Amino acid sequence: MTYLAKPKLHHPTLPRNTIGYTRRDYEGKISTLCAGCGHDSISAAIIQACWELDVEPHRVAKLSGIGCSSKTPDYFLGNSHGFNSVHGRMPSVLTGANLANRDLIYLGVSGDGDSASIGIGQFAHAMRRGVNMTYIVENNGVYGLTKGQFSATADQGSKSKRGAVNTDSPIDMVSLALQLGATLVGRSFSGDKDQLVPMIKAALAHPGAAFIDVISPCVAFNNHAGSTRSYEYVREHNEAVNRIDFMPRHEPIGAQYEPGSTIDIAQHDGSMLRLRKLHAEYDPSNLIAAMNYIQEHQARGEIVTGLLYVDPAADDLHGHLNTVESPLNSLDEAQLCPGNTMLERINQSLR
C-alpha cells in the first residue's frame, strides 16, 4: 500500500534500545517496491540489526547504485544521510565518503545487476582495498526495474518469466568476495530473518570489508517454476552451515552450547560472534576450506548460507593508508596548510 502515508505515531510501549531509540526511529519512507519483494525483508532486517546494535541512526551513511535494490536505502534509516549514486558505482562513492570521515558506519546496498554486471569492477576493488563497510547485494538474478532481463548472477539454464533460458555462466559473488580479500563474507536468504539479522550486525561491527550476498526473490520476474531464485527453490536448496549470535562487547556471553557445536570469534572492537555450527566440519576462519566447501556444494546445486568467512584480525583502508584518527573532513587550515614561511622555503628551493 505504497500510496498511504506512513503514520508517524510512536506507540509509548514500543521497546527502546539502550540508547533510547525505538525500532521506528530506524525506519525510512514507505517502500515503493512490489508487495512481497525480498528486498523489503532485507530493509526490515537492516532496521532490526541497527536497532539491536544500538547504532545512532545519523551515524550511518547509506549508499547505493541504481536499480530496485538501490532504491531501498530510502526505506530505512530515515535520519541517516543517503546517497543513491550512479549505476554500478556505489563502491567508489562509498570509498571516497569513508576516506573523508572514518567515524561513520558505511552501509552499501546494491543488487546483482548493479554489482555483478555493470559494477563488478568497483565491487572487486572495494573488497580488495578493505574499505570498512557492509556491502549487501540483494541478489535476485534479474533486472527488476527494466522488467525481467537476466543478470550476471542468474544460473545457467534458469528460465525467465517469458520462457527465455539463460545460457551464460553465473557469477558467484560470495566466491569472488572471498578471493578478492573481503574479511567477512556471508550469504543469507531474505526469507530467513533469524540468520540475516545477526549476520548484518556482525558485518556492521566488522572493522573491514564485509560482504553479504542475500538471495532475494523477485516476486514480479523471478519467482516462477524454472527460476533458481524463487522463494521455493531457495528454501529447498538452502544449506545453512551455521547460525550466528552477535554479542556486543557490553553483553555477557550468553547461553552455553554443547562443546564442539559453537565457535566464538572475537572482533577488534571487543564484540563476539558466536557461531552455532550446523555442519560440524565447516570452519569459517579457514579461507581455503571455505572456498572449497562452497564450490563443492555449489556443484551439487546447494546454496550454502551462513557466515562463510571471517578474519577477526581484519584491517581497513585507513589502516593501510595510515591516516590520522580524526576524520579528514574535520581538519582545518592549521592542520592542512603548510603556510607562507614554508612556501618561501619551497620557492627558494626552486631557484
Partner 1 sequence: MSNATRRIEAVNDFVVKFANVNGSGSASANEMFAKSFLRMGIPVSPRNIFPSNIQGLPTWYEVRVTEKGHLGRRGGVDMMVAMNPQTWDKDIAEIEPGGYLVYDSTKPMPPSRFRPDIHVIGVPLTEMCNAAYSDPRERQLLKNIMYVGALAHILGIDPEVIPQLLGEQYKGKDKLMTPNLDALRKGMHFASEHLDDICGLKVRRAANVGNRIFIDGNSAAALGAVYGGATVCAWYPITPSSSVAEAFQKYCSKYRTDSDTGRNRYAIVQAEDELASVGMVVGAGWNGARAFTATSGPGISLMSEFIGLAYFAEIPVTIIDVQRGGPSTGMPTRTQQSDILACAYASHGDTKHVLLLPEDPAECFEFTAQALDLADRLQTPVFLMTDLDIGMNQRLSRPFEWDDSRKFDRGKVMSAEQLESGVDFGRYLDVDGDGVAYRTYPGTHPTRGSFFTRGTTKDRYARYSEAGPDYVDNMERLLRKFETAKTLVPKAIERKAPGKTRVGAIYYGSTSPAMAEASEVLDAQTAHVDTLRIRAFPFGPEVEQFLEEHDTVFVVEQNRDAQLRTMLMTELDAESSKLVPVLHYDGTPITARFIVKEIAARVTGANVESIQRGKAA
Residues near partner 1 (CB under 8 A) are 56-59, 61, 63, 73-74, 78-86, 89, 91-101, 103-104, 121-122, 124-125, 129, 317-318, 321-325, 328-329, 331-333, 335-340, 342-343, 346-347, 350-351
Please give the grid coordinates belonging to residue 236: 529447498
Q: Shortest distance, CB of residue 287 to partner 1, whole angstroms?
A: 23
φ and ψ at 118, to 5 degrees? -65, -30
Q: Shortest distance, CB of residue 201 to partner 1, whole angstroms?
A: 20
The identity of residue 22, as a single letter, is T
Please give the grid coordinates belonging to residue 31: 517502500
Q: Shortest distance, CB of residue 206 to partner 1, whole angstroms?
A: 19
Closest listed residue to residue 80, CA positions, set 7, 19, 8, 25:
25
Q: Shortest distance, CB of residue 336 to partner 1, whole angstroms?
A: 4
> For residues 83 and 62, is the Cβ–Cβ distance under 8 A?
yes
The residue among 94 and 234 lying less far from partner 1, judged by its C-beta, is: 94
The residue among 91 and 113 lying less far from partner 1, judged by its C-beta, is: 91
Q: Are strands 149-150 and 142-143 parallel, antiparallel or unpaired?
A: antiparallel
The residue among 169 and 323 lying less far from partner 1, judged by its C-beta, is: 323
Report the run of H or E that residue 274 belongs to, with start and end.
strand 272-277
∠48-154-110 over CA atoms, to 5°?
A: 35
Q: Shortest distance, CB of residue 91 to partner 1, whole angstroms?
A: 8
Q: Shortest distance, CB of residue 230 to partner 1, whole angstroms?
A: 30
The residue among 57 and 217 lying less far from partner 1, judged by its C-beta, is: 57
DSSP state letters, 227-256? -SSSHHHHHHHEEE-EEEEEE-TTSPP---
> For residues 245 and 254, is the Cβ–Cβ distance under 8 A?
yes
The residue among 119 and 284 lying less far from partner 1, judged by its C-beta, is: 119
The residue among 47 and 154 lying less far from partner 1, judged by its C-beta, is: 47
